Amino acid sequence: MKLRFGVSLGNRVEELPRVIDRLESAGVDSLWFSELVYTPAVDPFAGMAYTLGRTDRLKVGTSVAVLPGRNPVLVAKALASLAALGPKRVLPAFGLRPASPAEWDLFAVPDGKRAAVFDEALQVVRALLTGDEVSFDGTFFQLTAASLGIRPPAPVDIWLGGSAPAAFRRIGRLADGWLGSFLTPDEARVARDSIERAAAQAGRTIEPDHFGLSLGVADGGLGHEIAAAIRSRRPDADPADLVAGDWSQLHRQLDGLIAAGLSKFVIRPVGDTPSDEFIDRFITELLPRQN
């Protein structure tokens, strides 16, 4: 399987041009944009478009953007446009809701229907990205002979986030890959097995190298504040098993995850490491591990 390492940096407007140029010149695989509305981070779709226009090789992805609460036809149009402008360089990954509860109301869906809306929206996006005319008669979305007028020159794979059994079933039934987070290698192995079982039950297969994880790495250990934030999300786990306190620990985590069958990784700094310093270390530590 191809081992690939991408970067997620928060992507503030004032830093983005310099970051993009550095990643492109170094041969880094990909730059990922998170859905962080009430922060200085750029919008994922705007960031992807800007990056594609500034580079010739660097891939772009979302880690992760929210799908339920967006019109799936408009999402498909944006992705088809991006994929036409940057063939084989657009890597969309979607999730159920924003990470920050303060942003939940920005992606409104009918009460108790978020998972059902997600499933339908994903089916609409996937169908429209084929470039064919699409008719769809769902509970939440209806289309009659709809076509975007743009056929991406190469298929656009759609990955999903999530770490719950329901997410694994959805990925197996409807998605092309998985980008998880905050999981140990053992948990990641269970996730992969669950996704593959769900895919088989749906008469589908997920490509063997379409399983990945977003990983954080600190510089000099996990401080009390960072450890507390991790515990608030995963009170059942040791923070050091989920976020690396240094680059040596990150390599050990990667060894376990690769042994569990994962091969795609999005690496983000945790703490106050300057972006230039983080990128230099990323290049030194991780580019030699790609195959």
Average pLDDT over residues 48-65: 97
- Work out the average pLDDT over 203-215: 97
Nearest to 69 by CA among 102, 94, 103, 106: 106
- pLDDT classification of 81: cutoffs 50, 70, 90: very high
How sure is the predictor about 265, in pLDDT bands with cuts at 50, 70 and 90?
very high
Q: How high is the pLDDT of residue 104?
A: 96
Of how many residues is the chain composed?
291
What single-letter amino acid sits at 263? Answer: S
Q: Is the pLDDT at 34 greater than 90, yes or no?
A: yes
| Position 11 confidence tier, pLDDT thresholds 50, 70, 90 | confident
State the Rg of the chain over Cα: 18
Q: How far apart are CA 164 and CA 169, in angstroms?
A: 9
pLDDT at 242: 94
Mean per-residue pLDDT of the chain: 96
Q: How confident is the model at residue 106 (pLDDT cuts 50, 70, 90)?
A: very high
Residue 221 pLDDT level (bands cut at 50, 70, 90): confident
C-alpha dihedral sign at 116, 117, 121, 122:
negative
Residue 131 has pLDDT above 90, yes or no: no
pTM of the entire predicted model: 0.95
Interhelix angle 275-286/247-259, nearest 10 degrees = 50
Mean pLDDT of the region 86-100? 96
Q: How confident is the model at residue 10 (pLDDT cuts 50, 70, 90)?
A: confident
CA dist., res. 87 & res. 54, Å (int): 14
145-192 pLDDT per residue, tens: 999 999 999 999 999 999 999 999 999 999 999 999 999 999 999 999
- pLDDT (0 to 100) of residue 127: 97
164: left (phi over 0), alpha (psi -120 to 50) or beta: beta
Q: What is the mean pLDDT of residues 275-287?
A: 97
pLDDT for 56 = 98
